[in-house]
Amino acid sequence: MKRNPIILKKETTALLIIDLQERILPVIRNYETVLENTVKLIKGFKVMQLPIYFTEQYPKGLGQTSKIILNELESYSAIQKMSFSCFGAENLFEELHKKKLSQIAVCGIETHVCVQQTVLDLLANDFQVNLAADAVSSRKEIDYNIALDRMRILGAEVTTTESILFELLEVCGTPEFKEVSKIVK
Per-residue pLDDT of the chain (185 residues; tens, 9 = 90+): 998 999 999 999 999 999 999 999 999 999 999 999 999 999 999 999 999 999 999 888 888 999 999 999 999 999 999 999 999 888 999 999 999 999 999 999 999 999 999 999 999 999 999 999 999 999 999 999 999 999 999 999 999 999 999 999 999 999 999 999 999 98
pLDDT at 90: 82
SS3 of residue 75 by DSSP: coil
Q: Which CATH superfamily is domain 13-184 in?
A: Isochorismatase-like (3.40.50.850)
Residues in the chain: 185
pLDDT at 60: 87
Whether 19 sits among the annotated catalytic residues: the reply is yes
Single out the catalytic residue among 81, 86, 107, 134: 81
Alpha-carbon gap, residue 118 to 144, rounded angstroms: 15
103 near 12, Cβ under 8 Å?
A: yes
**Which of 109, 102, 97 lies closest to 143, judged by CA?**
109
**Which of 39, 45, 40 lies closest to 20, judged by CA?**
39
- Cα–Cα distances in angstroms (integers) from residue 38 to residues 1, 44, 68, 83, 131, in the given order: 34, 10, 10, 22, 12
Single out the catalytic residue among 40, 114, 121, 134: 114
Alpha-carbon gap, residue 56 to 82, rounded angstroms: 8
pLDDT at 185: 87
Q: Is 31 left (phi over 0), alpha (psi -120 to 50) or beta?
A: alpha
Whether 40 sits among the annotated catalytic residues: the reply is no
Whether 134 sits among the annotated catalytic residues: the reply is no
